[in-house]
Structure formats: structure tokens, C-alpha cells
Amino acid sequence: AVCNVVTLGPSFISGVFVPQEMLGDSVLAAASFTPTYWYIRAVRMIQHMPADGSTELRNYSNSLLVQIAFATAFLAVALVISRQRRQSDKN
């Protein structure tokens, strides 16, 4: 049950199942704290990018940087947890 809430909850509020254009501003503000929101935003930018979309390319790269920041944060948390578990197993 926890797995379903953790995975499907952000999907519903970030635009995976419902287009982001149909979601309210407060829902999108909450969804912006999830990596799923930034992924969907980047994909939609690619879909609607004009041929000379230099400004859109900048917004797209910002979305990618946010996703990389989330990945780095998740990796750092996983490494800290792994290190703590190894230290507690030694003691």
C-alpha cells in the first residue's frame, strides 16, 4: 500500500495521467517538488518546441538540471544509508 501511494501519488499530481494544463496552480506547485513533474515538463517542451527554439532549449536544459539534482540527492541519501548500515553491522 505504501509503495502504491509513493509511486502513484506523484504521478497523479505531476501530470503523468492528467495533462499539466488541466491541473491547478497549487497542485503544480506541490508537484514541482517531485522529479516526475520535471520529467513530464521536459517531455512536453520537446513535443512543442519550434525549430528555432533557443529559449525553449534553455528551459528544457533547466528541467534536465533539476532532474540531475534529484538523482544526485537520491544517490547521496542512498550512500549515507548504506554507510550507516555497514557501520551498524560492524558494531
* DSSP of the chain: -HHHHHHHHHHHHHTSSS-GGGS-HHHHHHHTTSHHHHHHHHHHHHHT--TT-HHHHHHHHHHHHHHHHHHHHHHHHHHHHHHHHHHHHH-
Task: State residue 39's pLDDT score.
Answer: 92
Per-residue confidence in pLDDT tens, the chain, 91 aa: 888 888 898 888 888 998 888 999 999 999 999 999 999 999 888 888 877 767 778 888 899 999 999 999 999 999 999 999 999 988 7
Task: State residue 7's pLDDT score.
Answer: 86
How far apart (Å, rounded) are the C-alpha atoms in residues 45 and 39?
10
How far apart (Å, rounded) are the C-alpha atoms in residues 34 and 13?
9
Task: State residue 10's pLDDT score.
Answer: 86
Task: State residue 40's pLDDT score.
Answer: 92
